Amino acid sequence: MKELIEKDIWAWMTDYLEVNHEFYDYKFSPCPFAYKARMSGNVEVIVWETGSYKSLINQQLLNPDKKIKVIVFPPNFKYAWLTRYYVKNLNKKLVAQDRFIQCGNAVDTVSKYKDLGGNYTVVIINNLSELILGHEALKNTSYYDNWSKKHYYNIVTERQNIKEKHER
């Protein structure tokens, strides 16, 4: 099962995240920097199998490499609001380490976790400085033109607010 799920996530990255999308008038992919990160070997996929979600996330945060971590969970993870709250609050501590965590759905995937259909849930650990540099580069393009104000606030403004409030 682990290998199948990992394969699904690599396919999601190449077939969804890296492909120019209708939402962006086919000018941009959902994640314009995913291809470069993947091709440079800077991405690692970790599949949750059993145990505490928190423990797996913490274990990956202790890893000294600065790779982008894509941690895969079953669809029901998105309903574990306490864990989402935990992930969100980790960012307050991680800013000083130049790290940032985001939680979301692997759109257009179908879970292979037993009896748990739907999209996989992913927790992505990134380098904060690289996210900020990417955002700065995209500000001068039409990338954000179709984003709702709420989505922009949730993704960009909240990240910037956390950075400013908690960086040392």
Task: Quote the pLDDT of residue 163.
Answer: 87
Edge-to-edge strand list for the sheet holding 68-73: 43-47, 68-73, 121-127, 99-105
- Tens of pLDDT, residues 94-117: 888 899 998 888 999 999 998 778
Instruction: Specify the long-range contacts of residues 109-116, CB closer than 8 Å, at least 24 apart.
Output: 109/8, 109/9, 109/12, 110/8, 111/5, 111/74, 111/75, 112/1, 112/4, 112/5, 112/8, 113/1, 113/5, 113/74, 113/75, 114/1, 116/74, 116/75, 116/76
C-beta of residue 105 within 8 angstroms of C-beta of residue 119: yes
Q: Is the pLDDT of residue 53 over 70?
A: yes
- Tens of pLDDT, residues 39-48: 999 999 999 9
Q: CA-to-CA distance for 157 and 90, rounded, in angstroms?
A: 17
C-beta of residue 74 within 8 angstroms of C-beta of residue 105: no
Task: Quote the pLDDT of residue 124.
Answer: 93
Tokens of 14: 């190449």
Q: CA-to-CA distance for 106 and 94, rounded, in angstroms?
A: 23
Quote the pTM value.
0.90
Task: Quote the pLDDT of residue 78.
Answer: 56
Tokens of 95: 């800013």
Is residue 30 helix, strand or coil?
coil
Other beta carbons less than 10 A from residue 125's beta carbon = 23
User: In whole angstroms, what separates CA 12 from the centre of its chain?
Assistant: 12
Strands annotated E in 37-145: 43-47, 68-73, 99-105, 121-127
